[in-house]
Amino acid sequence: MKAVLKKWGNSIALRLPASVLKEAGLRENQVVRIVVASGKIVITPTSSTQFPEGRVSRVASLRARAEDVFGDPEKAWKWLNRPNRALAQKTPLEMIDTDASFQSVLTILGRLEHGIYS
């Protein structure tokens, strides 16, 4: 299937046919995560509509997301506590104090989920 990118305000938009949304399990107004991986745009659904507030909920959110990606709670916890080159040698858990740094960790997890090692 081919589609055309169109200008929409100051951005570029892509209309997704209803059949594509249905097959992907997406719906209108759903919050999605967008990752660019090896020159491809990957869109995946998220379970929340906003970033969690507070340190405890961010730790819980990251741990749950890492467990989804790694498929094993122990591997996820080790990854969350290991310095990461993509985070300037900080651990992912050290990066939860601001929305921007929290988003950086989620982006790295999204890339890992799609086989792109950061």
What span, in angstroms and rounded, lies between the C-alpha atoms of 43 and 35? 7
Whole-prediction pTM: 0.56
pLDDT tens-place string over residues 1-30: 888 999 887 788 888 999 998 988 888 777
DSSP state of 93: G
pLDDT tens-place string over residues 60-102: 889 999 999 999 999 999 999 999 999 999 999 999 888 888 9
Say if residues 46 and 84 touch (Cβ distance below 8 Å): no
User: So where are the chain's domains?
Assistant: 6-45, 55-113
What span, in angstroms and rounded, lies between the C-alpha atoms of 7 and 17? 17
Domain 6-45 has CATH 2.10.260.10: yes
**Residue 118: predicted pLDDT:** 61
Residue 109 banded pLDDT, cuts 50, 70, 90? very high
